[in-house]
Structure 1
C-alpha cells in the first residue's frame, strides 16, 4: 500500500509540475515537429535520466539543501536570467530563413544527449524538488524507508515523461488546427511567454530577497 501511495503521489506531483510551458517542453515540441515521435521519446528519456538523480538526491538531502540560502538564491537568480536568454534564443532562431531547420536542428541527431544536456541546465528543478520533497516528507504523504524511496522517484519520472509528452502532442495538434498559432508560436508567442515568466520570477526574486 505504501509503495502504491509513493508511486501515485510522485506521479501526480511530477505530472502537474511538468505541464506548464517550460523550455524543456518547448524544445521537445520543436523536436517533435522536426523529427517525429521516436526522437521526441528519446529526448524525453534523456530529460528524465537527469531528473531521476535530481529528485533522488534532493529527497535524501532536502533538509540540508533548504537551509543553504545562498545556493537557493543563486539558482533562483540564474533562472530569472535564463528565461530572458531563452526568449532571445527562440526569437532569433525563428527569424531563420529555413524555419524548418529549427533552433536545435544541429543537435537533434542525438536527442537523448540533448535531453541530458538541457535537463542538466534546468537548475530551477533543484529548489522545486527540494521544496516538494520536504513538504511531502513532513506531511507524511510519502514513506522513503528501505526501497520505498525508489518507487516514489519512479512515479515522479513517469509523471514527468507522460506530462511532457501530453503537452507536446497537444501543442502540435492545436498548432496544426490553428493557422495563427502555427505562424506565430515560435516567432512571437513563445518568446513572449519566456519574457513574462522572466518578469514574474524576477518580481518573486525581488520580493523574496
Structure 2
C-alpha cells in the first residue's frame, strides 16, 4: 500500500508541475507541430529518463540539505545563470530564423537525445522536487529512504510522461489553431526562461 501511495504522490506532484507553461512542454508542442507526434514522444522519452534521476536527487536533497541552505543557494545561482543562457539562445533562434520551418521527420535517436539535453538543462526540476518533498516530509506524508525515493520517482516519471504526451496529442489534433503559437515558440520560450531567471536573480539578491 505504501508503494502505491508514494507512486501516487509522485504522479500528482509531477503532473501539477508539468501542466503549467514551461520551456519543456512548449518544446513538446513545437516538436509535435514541426516534426510529428512520433518524434515528440521520443523527445518526451528523453525528458522522462532525466526526470527520474532529478526526482531522486530532489528527494535526497530534501533529507540532507534542510540545514545547509548555503548549498541550496549555490544551486539556485548556477540554475539562474543557465536560465539566462537559455533565454538568450531562444531569442537568438527566434530573431535569426528567416525561412519558415516546415513539418519534417527527424531521426528518433536525435529527438530522444534532444529530450535528454533539454531536461538536463531544466534546473527548475530539482528545486521543485526538493521543495515539494520537503513539504510532504513536513506534513508527515513522506519519509525518505532509497526505496521510497525510487517509488516516488517512478510516479513522477509517469506523471510527467502523461502530461507531456497530452501536450503532444493536443498539438497534433488542433494544429491549425496552434500554427501561430508555434511560429512564435522560440520567442515564448525565451520570455518564459528570462522571466524565471530574473525572478530567481531578484530572490537571490534580496536574501
- Do they superpose with TM above 0.5? yes
Give the TM-score normalised by the residue count of structure 2.
0.80
Tell me the SS of whatever aligns to 2:65. Answer: helix
Specify the alignment match of 1:164 in structure 2: 164
How far has the Cα of 1:106 moved from its partner? Answer: 8.6
**Maintained 8 Å contact 2:15/2:163:** yes
1-structure distance, mates of 2:175, 2:158: 26
Specify the alignment match of 2:194 in structure 1: 195
Specify the alignment match of 1:123 in structure 2: 123
Tell me the SS of whatever aligns to 1:100. Answer: coil
**Maintained 8 Å contact 1:14/1:159:** yes
RMSD: 3.0
Unaligned runs of 5+ in 2: none
How far has the Cα of 1:119 moved from its partner? Answer: 1.8
Pair 1:172–1:192, CA change in 2 (3 A) = farther
Pair 1:144–1:72, CA change in 2 (3 A) = closer
Specify the alignment match of 2:98 in structure 1: 97
Give the TM-score normalised by the residue count of structure 1.
0.80
| Range moving further from structure 2, 156-165 or 119-128 | 119-128
Specify the alignment match of 1:136 in structure 2: 136
Task: Work out the number of aligned pairs and report it.
Answer: 205
1-structure distance, mates of 2:74, 2:34: 35
Specify the alignment match of 2:204 in structure 1: 205
Unaligned runs of 5+ in 1: none
How far has the Cα of 1:174 moved from its partner? Answer: 6.2
Pair 1:145–1:68, CA change in 2 (3 A) = closer
2-structure distance, mates of 1:107, 1:77: 35
